[in-house]
């Protein structure tokens, strides 16, 4: 019996997009801004599949820091 992934339009096994985007949660909670970070929102667009075994790189850019509000505006991308 063939795996379900060979019957899909991707023709190979893919990961769920949300699993790849979870890299950002790890970055925010450990690197920028660091421990204690509250991750308030995220907008996601999945442009193409991430295949099992693919190497992905999460990139972030700190766009704005508001010291009084203790908030950061961060743009993140994951070119796959």
The CATH number given to whatever domain includes residue 11 is 3.10.129.10
Instruction: Count the domains in the chain.
Output: 1
Model confidence at 78: pLDDT above 70: no
More confident site: 76 or 66: 66
pLDDT tens-place string over residues 20-71: 888 887 877 787 777 777 777 778 888 888 888 888 887 778 778 777 877 7
Model confidence at 2: pLDDT above 60: no
**Three-state secondary structure string covering the chain:** CCCHHHHCCCCCCECCHHHHHHHHHHHHHHCCCCCCCCCCCCCCCCCCCCECCCCCCCEEEEEEEECCCCEEEEEEECCC
For residue 61, give its domain range.
4-41+49-77
Model confidence at 4: pLDDT above 60: no
């Amino acid at each position: 019996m063939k795996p379900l992934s060979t019957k899909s339009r991707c023709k190979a096994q893919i990961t769920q997009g949300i699993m790849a985007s979870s890299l950002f949660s790890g970055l925010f909670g450990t690197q920028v801004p660091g421990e204690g970070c509250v991750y308030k929102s995220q907008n996601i667009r999945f442009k193409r599949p991430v295949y099992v075994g693919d190497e992905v790189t999460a990139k972030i850019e700190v766009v704005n820091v508001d010291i009084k509000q203790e908030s950061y505006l961060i743009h993140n991308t994951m070119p796959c």
